[in-house]
């Protein structure tokens, strides 16, 4: 066992930290207020390799391990969780899904652009009536011989307006239940595809979340991912890894809020001394630090499991469940330590508190993570 990070991992952490401080921090409050997608910053992240970190270099990726990815995710999320969810969805839902299950043609055509950030991807599973209950897909893809005809609506889609390519899950044969579900690559420019309204969100307001409508969209047969009927398992397997990315995002939000609270407590004075000298504040910092460190171990263990080729369904769910809880608790306490200043935008912690909430909801709510964990525990 070795708790030390390698030279390479330390360099990735440094690069992500520098990028976050130099490129994401300026304007982060304005982007949050105005719901502005970080277009320039995403372009730069693509150039620096943050959008296809784990993809094989032969498809334009960084060829890095999952540990590198979670380290980068933590650093980016300390500063700007809106930017980091774009990174997470593109890396672990879109690129990973395509690289692992896509055909060579699909990889050449789509993955090469997604891994470099030349194009952005979105993952479209959720529907108005299929959020947690993901097998209840209403979107249909009817087999028409050389193509499928896609109809339906997807909701709460991250990168919904900004993506170029969309991985869309749809029902092709209702009688077969989840075994009649497929996943497709859909291009934004295709007839019948419409980006619907943008959501006005509590947090991660710089990321664009949209409803998407599909009206008789012709999807060529070669754009189905995997064997007929593989779509639900594709979604589940992809989400298992996605949850590690969101766990790292939650960890970063918590760590970012803790850093701010710690610094603030060393300069803010009350009752004749810096507030960190009051046990009421010092104990909060101690709790925050312990919780973050424990969450970090779970996140890194899940990443390590994935890198070892071990099953990571449970460890990813555990990491997400715990890190998102810690993100919520830590950000609330960070606001509390800041007092009145914590409630205003310029101190950043109120934004981190709003951003934290989504980590308990997307890519499977905390309740869904408990389903995954408890089923794993009870399986013989
Ligand atoms: N890997 C492979 N296969 C899996 C799997 C996994 N991790 N999890 C389930 N499956 C398989 C099962 O083995 C089963 O197949 P068989 O019948 O052939 O054995 C099939 O999938 C159905 O599984 P269940 O019977 O367990 O299905 P269920 O209806 O009970 O649901 C669930 C299971 C875990 C609750 C699932 O529905 C789920 O994960 N729901 C949450 C969905 C979710 O995370 N949505 C997030 C939206 S995406 C998003 O947020 C992205 C974004 O933009 C940020």
- For ligand 1, pick from 82, 123, 134 the residue to mutate: most ligand atoms within 8 Å of CB: 134
Q: Is the pLDDT of residue 294 over 90?
A: yes
Helices (H), the chain: 7-19, 28-34, 39-48, 66-79, 81-88, 96-101, 104-106, 112-116, 231-267, 279-308, 313-338, 349-358, 366-378
Atom of ligand 1 nearest to the CA of 134: 37
- Position 380 confidence tier, pLDDT thresholds 50, 70, 90: confident
Q: Is the pLDDT of residue 142 over 90?
A: yes
Atom of ligand 1 nearest to the CA of 237: 1
Coil vs helix vs strand at 157:
strand
Number of other CB atoms surrounding residue 171 within 10 Å: 23
Per-residue pLDDT tens digits for 167-203: 999 999 999 999 999 999 999 999 999 999 999 999 9
Residue 119: the pLDDT is 98
Residue of 74, 99, 127, 363 marked active site = 363
- Position 98 confidence tier, pLDDT thresholds 50, 70, 90: very high
Per-residue pLDDT tens digits for 72-90: 999 999 999 999 999 999 9
| Closest CA to ligand 1's atom 5 | 236
Give φ, ψ of 118 to 5 degrees.
-60, -35
Cα 282 from Cα 200, distance rounded (Å):
37
Atom of ligand 1 nearest to the CA of 243: 44
Per-residue pLDDT tens digits for 104-132: 999 999 999 999 999 999 999 999 989 99
Cα 41 from Cα 51, distance rounded (Å):
11
Segment (H or E) for 213: strand 209-220
What are the Cα distances from residue 170, in Å, to 112, 212, 235, 359?
Answer: 25, 13, 11, 25
Angle 315-320-262 (CA atoms, 0-180°, nearest 5)?
A: 120
Distance 278 CA to ligand 1 centre (A): 47
| Closest CA to ligand 1's atom 47 | 363
User: Which residues are within 8 A (CB) of 291 and not within 5 positions of it... i.e. 6 or more apart?
Assistant: 254, 326, 329, 330
Angle 118-122-125 (CA atoms, 0-180°, nearest 5)?
A: 165
- For ligand 1, pick from 236, 312, 363 the residue to mutate: most ligand atoms within 8 Å of CB: 236
Average pLDDT, stretch 67-72? 98
Distance 136 CA to ligand 1 centre (A): 11
99 is catalytic: no
Distance 51 CA to ligand 1 centre (A): 25
Residue 1: the pLDDT is 85
DSSP 36: -
Question: Both ends of the chain: CA-CA distance in Å?
Answer: 28
Average pLDDT, stretch 21-33? 98
Q: Are 349 and 260 in contact (CB under 8 A)?
A: yes
- For ligand 1, pick from 128, 231, 233, 247 the residue to mutate: most ligand atoms within 8 Å of CB: 233
| Closest CA to ligand 1's atom 44 | 364
Pocket of ligand 1 (CB under 6 A): 89, 123, 125-126, 132, 134-135, 157-158, 178, 232-233, 236-237, 239-240, 313, 362-364, 368, 371-372
User: By mean pLDDT, which of 132-136, 167-171, 301-305 is the weakest?
Assistant: 132-136
Distance 314 CA to ligand 1 centre (A): 12
**CA nearest neighbour of 87 among 155, 23, 137:** 23
Average pLDDT, stretch 142-147? 97
Cα 78 from Cα 190, distance rounded (Å):
37
Atom of ligand 1 nearest to the CA of 239: 44
CA atoms within 13 A on the CB side of 73: 33
Per-residue pLDDT tens digits for 51-65: 999 999 999 999 999
The whole-model pTM stands at: 0.98
Atom of ligand 1 nearest to the CA of 158: 53
Query: Percent of the chain scored above 90 by pLDDT?
Result: 98
| Burial (CB count within 10 angstroms: exposed 0-12, middle 13-18, buried 19+), residue 310 | exposed
């Amino acid at each position: 066992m070795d708790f030390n990070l390698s030279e390479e991992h330390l360099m990735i952490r440094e690069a992500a930290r520098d990028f976050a401080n130099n490129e994401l921090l300026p304007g982060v409050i304005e982007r949050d207020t105005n719901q502005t997608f970080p277009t320039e910053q995403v372009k730069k992240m693509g150039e620096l390799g943050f959008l296809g970190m784990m993809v094989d270099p032969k498809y334009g990726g960084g060829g890095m391990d999952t540990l590198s990815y979670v380290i980068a995710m933590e650093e980016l999320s300390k500063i700007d969780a809106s930017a980091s969810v774009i990174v997470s969805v593109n890396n672990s839902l879109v690129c990973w899904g395509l690289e692992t299950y896509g055909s060579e043609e699909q990889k050449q055509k789509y993955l090469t652009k997604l891994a470099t950030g030349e194009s952005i991807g979105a993952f479209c599973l959720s529907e108005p009536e299929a959020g947690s209950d993901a097998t209840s897909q209403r979107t249909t893809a009817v087999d028409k011989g050389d193509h499928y005809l896609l109809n339906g609506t997807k909701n709460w889609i991250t990168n919904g307006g900004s993506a170029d390519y969309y991985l869309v899950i749809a029902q092709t044969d209702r009688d077969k239940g989840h075994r009649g579900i497929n996943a497709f690559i859909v291009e934004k420019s295709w007839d019948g595809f419409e980006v619907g309204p943008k959501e006005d969100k509590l947090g991660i307001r710089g990321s664009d979340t949209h409803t998407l409508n599909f009206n008789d969209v012709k999807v060529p047969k070669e754009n189905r991912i995997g064997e007929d009927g593989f779509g639900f398992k594709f979604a589940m397997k992809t989400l298992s890894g996605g949850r590690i990315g969101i766990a790292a995002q939650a960890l970063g939000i918590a760590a970012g809020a803790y850093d701010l609270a710690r610094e603030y407590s060393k300069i803010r004075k009350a009752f004749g001394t810096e507030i960190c000298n009051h046990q009421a504040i010092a104990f909060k910092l101690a709790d925050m630090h312990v919780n973050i460190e424990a969450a970090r171990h779970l996140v890194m263990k899940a990443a390590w499991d994935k890198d070892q080729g071990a099953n990571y369904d449970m460890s990813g769910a555990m990491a997400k469940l715990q890190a998102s809880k810690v993100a919520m608790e830590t950000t609330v306490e960070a606001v509390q330590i800041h007092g009145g200043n914590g409630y205003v935008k310029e101190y950043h912690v109120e934004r981190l508190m709003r951003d934290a909430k989504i980590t308990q909801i997307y890519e499977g709510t905390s309740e869904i993570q408990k389903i995954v964990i408890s089923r794993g525990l009870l399986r013989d």
